[in-house]
């Protein structure tokens, strides 16, 4: 056993197995969809708040 064999391999994307790569992609896709959903929901919420505020202020309809 050489000295190099005894040094633990640091897990990096360079030495991923295909399963690890697939899992990474799956998790990233899940996070991105969740973030997209949160952003859309926030936009809709701010829009709804603006409509309600303007309505109560008598600036709409």
Q: Is position 20 an interface residue for another protein (rule: CB under 8 A)?
A: yes
The token duo for 16 is 């991923």
Q: Is position 39 an interface residue for another protein (rule: CB under 8 A)?
A: no
Cβ-based nearer residue to another protein, 2 or 34: 34
Q: Is position 45 an interface residue for another protein (rule: CB under 8 A)?
A: yes
Phi-psi region of 58 (alpha: psi -120 to 50; beta: other; left: phi over 0): left
Q: Please, what sign has the CA dihedral across residues 44, 46, 48, 54?
A: negative
Residues found near another protein in the complex (CB under 8 A): 11-13, 20, 23-24, 27-28, 30-31, 33-34, 45-46, 48-49, 51-52, 56
């Amino acid at each position: 056993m050489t000295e190099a064999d005894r040094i633990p391999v640091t897990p990096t994307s360079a030495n991923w197995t295909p399963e690890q790569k697939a899992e990474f992609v799956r998790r990233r896709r899940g996070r991105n969809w969740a973030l997209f959903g949160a952003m859309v929901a926030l936009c809709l919420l701010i829009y709804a708040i603006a409509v309600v505020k303007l309505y109560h202020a008598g600036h709409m309809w």
